[in-house]
């Protein structure tokens, strides 16, 4: 169950939106926090994934990706953002800390046919200039996301 919850949060995607546009592959979607909030997950120290995924995960989707969450088929231009934040404990409250990384998935079928149409990016610490992944890392992301081919390679489900 924990691994399913972890995998369900591990998603990324991309596209054009009224708030921000991605002009080329590898661009950071600057206004993603103004997009639709898909869901949030807290990965705590008891999770096997804590060392790499520990913290608060917020998942955001642009308008195109929202169509995909409704239909199960994400159109080109879909962008999904996985915003991973550290946590801090203050007076018994768990609150957001620094950005650990921002992962992004962009659906561009013409350019990414081997990965179900998706390109993956990761911006450590939210550094907007450092998102491009090596071919090996792209393959690792697409290999994992292939487990959700039934949902167009996207783990997350829109919060009901």
pLDDT digits 0-9 by tens, 107-145: 998 888 778 889 999 999 998 988 888 888 888 898 889
- DSSP labels, the chain: -HHHHHHHH--------SS----STT---TTGGGSEEEEEEEE-TTSTTHHHH-EEEEEEE-HHHHHHHHHS-PPTT-EEEEEEEEEEEETTEEEEEEEEEEEEEEE-TTT-GGGTTEEEEEEETT-TT--PPPHHHHHHHHHHHGGGGGGTT-------
Mean pLDDT for the chain?
83
pLDDT the model gives residue 26: 57
Please report the pLDDT score of residue 66 as a whole number. 96
Share of the chain above pLDDT 90, in %: 59
| pLDDT per position as a tens digit, 16-43 | 222 233 334 458 999 999 999 999 999 9
């Amino acid at each position: 169950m924990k691994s399913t919850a972890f995998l369900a949060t591990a998603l990324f995607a991309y596209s054009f939106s009224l708030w921000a546009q991605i002009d080329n592959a590898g661009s950071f979607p600057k206004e993603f926090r103004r997009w639709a909030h898909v869901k949030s997950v807290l990965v705590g120290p008891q999770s096997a994934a804590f060392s790499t995924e520990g913290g608060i995960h917020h998942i955001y989707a642009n308008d195109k990706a929202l169509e995909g969450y409704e239909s199960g088929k994400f159109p080109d231009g879909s962008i999904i953002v996985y915003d991973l934040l550290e946590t801090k404990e203050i007076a018994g409250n768990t609150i957001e800390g620094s950005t650990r990384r921002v992962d992004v998935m962009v659906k561009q079928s013409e350019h990414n046919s081997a990965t179900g149409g998706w390109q993956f990016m990761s911006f450590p610490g939210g550094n907007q200039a450092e998102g491009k992944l090596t071919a090996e890392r792209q393959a690792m992301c697409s290999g994992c996301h292939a487990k959700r081919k039934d949902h167009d390679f996207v783990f997350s489900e829109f919060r009901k």
